[in-house]
Amino acid sequence: MPRFSPFEKSIAELQLAIDSGQTTSVALLDFYRERIAAYDQTGPALNAIRAISPDAARVAAERDAERAAGKVRGPLHGIPVVVKDNYETLDLSTTAGSALLADFCTGRDATLVSKLRDAGAIVFAKTQMHEFAYGITTMGSLFGQTRNPYDLDVNPGGSSGGTAAAVAANFAAVGMGSDTCGSIRIPAGHNNLVGLRGTQGLLSRFGLVPLSHTQDIGGPIARSVEDLATVLDATVGFDPRDAQTGASRGRVPPSYVEGLASSHLRGVRFGVLAEAMSRGSDDEEVAEVVRRAASGCATLGAEVVELSRPELDQLVGGPLAGLLVLAQDFKWDIGDYLSGFPEAPARSLAEIIRAGGYHACIEERLRVSEATEDRAGATYREELKRSAALRRYLHALLREEGLDALIYPTIRRLPVRIGVFEQEGSNCRLSAKSGLPAISLPAGFSAGGIPIGMELLGRAWSEARLLQYASAIERAFPRRRAPASVPI
């Protein structure tokens, strides 16, 4: 029998290999750690992994022993998983990419980490992220820049770029990120992966270092729709420590994975949103790839129509409007969060700024946040009203046009080169401001071989349907390919 390789294998394939005696959880962990040793700080030096748990080998052996005793907790049992470094973990510090928090240990797991562990997953490493999640190029003061495994001269997207680069490079079976405005979907798009931002309230925020309580949400980044659905099954639902998740009660299906069995596009109606496709010549390379991917849906039985809604701009707002809520939230949210830990090296944003040491790429944003004077001033309240209006507008658009989802590029531009920290072209606000779910899936590649993502946005709590649509597209048009910079 040929030696089993976990390279590019799905979670279901890994489970089958373990059950058939071809491999073990210990061997899987060894495989991923060997790849990290070979490619993360040497060779292409992706710089995707911040730290590996000292308990990982013991946990892997325990999962193998449980399996041998007939106790398999579920589809994630014994599967190595990485999480973004804004997820609290018992066994590792939680830095949010900041040198100031290098030794910050909370003594607890985030709810999503606890759920993964309870499901039998081996949460074995933490990934690099844009400092305080306040950007989309994945640069931080603690460990520097993460590289895109498909082109080492450009960034991987962010702020969950470390998770995306790690999953794309086969450093883990699957990973967790967080999304405040594109931070799951953009790196998924730039790394030929699938990433979901769920309806606000689908997944708990407890134990995530906050950027914005208004828009933060955690979620999976995976190499396939089925892998993403497998992680969702283990992590969604009500958490008494996050009141927002109360909205998910009665809205979570028994299994997202089981729903994939009925995946098809027959009779489905998609709207290609012109205003999110292209705003000039710099957007055209990405737009053309997404147009072709959208047209492919029609060959699967979907009706694909083009829509133009220029009035959306007023509701979505520009980058400064989008930053206003984040800026205001961050000042108060990070202060409230850090004040809950007596050992925290700072208790407020002002103390973070005074301590210095943060990367220059976030300095302006930190100072804009600190300059806000009121937790809920008039401008802030107006922006929240605009977000609620956007949600109503998008629901009405989907209903009146008979649409099952909107289609547009995850981000209209290719990733900027290393050393450039401002990235234009994000479509993140459509989902992030409205609180509606959106999934990014591979649409194809640029002429230079950089992955391009396509986003599907649906009604609130329509994740199961979005996953079905994405699965049907993935099955008919398998666009996943491993990056050449990190060969097997």
Catalytic residue numbers, as ranges: 84, 159, 183
Comparing CA positions, the residue from 483, 71, 433 lying closest to residue 217 is 433
| 8 A C-beta contact, residue 452 and residue 392 | no
Comparing CA positions, the residue from 148, 207, 219 lying closest to residue 182 is 219
| 8 A C-beta contact, residue 420 and residue 360 | no
420 vs 96: CA distance, rounded Å:
20
Burial class (CB in 10 A: 0-12, 13-18, 19+), 13: middle
Full 3-state SS string of the chain:
CCCCCCCCCCHHHHHHHHHCCCCCHHHHHHHHHHHHHHHCCCCCCCCCEEEECCCHHHHHHHHHHHHHCCCCCCCCCCCEEEEECCECCCCCCCCCCCHHHCCCCCCCCCHHHHHHHHCCCEEEEEECCCHHHCCCCCEECCCEECCECCECCECCCCCCHHHHHHHHCCCCCEEEEECCCCCCHHHHHHCCCEEEECCCCCCCCCCECCCCCCCCCEEEEECCHHHHHHHHHHHCCCECCEHHHHHHCCCCCCCHHHHHHHCCCCCCEEEEEHHHHCCCHHHHHHHHHHHHHHHHHHCCCCEEEEECCCCHHHHHCCHHHHHHHHHHHHHHHHHHHHHCCCCCCCCCHHHHHHHCCCCHHHHHHHHHHHHCCCCCCHHHHHHHHHHHHHHHHHHHHHHHCCCCEEEEECECCCCCECCCCCCCCECCHHHHHHCCCEEEEEEEECCCCCEEEEEEECCCCCHHHHHHHHHHHHHHCCCCCCCCCCCC
- 317 phi, psi to nearest 5 deg: 80, 165
* Six-digit token string for 194: 């699938």
161 vs 134: CA distance, rounded Å:
12
